[in-house]
Amino acid sequence: MGDRSGNRRAALIAGGVRGIGRALALALAAEGWSVAVCYRQSEREAASLRAELEALGPGHACVRADVSDPGTAAELVRRVEHAHGRLDALINSVGAYHRVPLLEESVEGWHAMFDANLHPVFYLARAAAPGMMRRRWGRIVNFSIVNADQQVGQPFITAHYIAKIGVLVLTRSLARILAPHGITANTVSPGFIDTGGVPEEDLAQSFSAIPAGCLGTPGDAVAAVRYLLSDEARYVNGTNIHVSGGWGI
């Protein structure tokens, strides 16, 4: 996909070597985007994704970077802009979590959930926004979870859940700040998506409660993101799209 000048648009996907992020990277590359993906630990998945992206053509990258560090996040954005002369879309699909009773959570585990799920969204958006503002076009898409907007009690994933609520507030704040510059910031909130990353016991407990009667696929979330990245979505800003088959609403 190119802009009106015919140049290829460039996207940076944080946390994109597995699940929805991986599916999105491949979909955008197939559509003609230049895609850069970062990951923290998943070397085997990164290697296979790198090979798949290379098969789709030149101009893609899959790099190891811990974007919970603000300096690393800023440097990653700079590298992408230097390589492509632009950064049109920032997609934050980081989403690590662990299940532990709240009062048994460690201080380290508590902080880790915010470092994995919320802080990188701010660091990367702060670094990407100036270039998008200069170019008067940009898309930021952040991932939350489907019932974060309800602010319900979550005794086993408390820190993760609070971080995902924070993503909603941060995204809406970015939307208000950046809208005058031709930039949109939106959230996609998946429910139970069959990525292989959700524990089987979680799926078993919730499957019967999904009104659609089936699990979602990464493609369902990819379709929502592709719309938000499009020119057709220029007036959609600050929204939160549930991709859940009606679960969690």
What positions carry a catalytic annotation? 161
Say if residue 52 is exposed, middle or buried (CB neighbours under 10 Å; 0-12, 13-18, 19+): middle
Distance (Å) of CA 216 to CA 30, 180, 221? 22, 35, 8
Give the Cα separation of 110 and 184 in Å (integer). 30
Cβ proximity of 215 and 196 under 8 Å: no
Lookup result for tokens 């970062």? 38
Beta strands at 89-92 and 138-143: parallel, antiparallel or unpaired = parallel
Cβ proximity of 28 and 22 under 8 Å: no
**Containing H/E element for 153?**
none
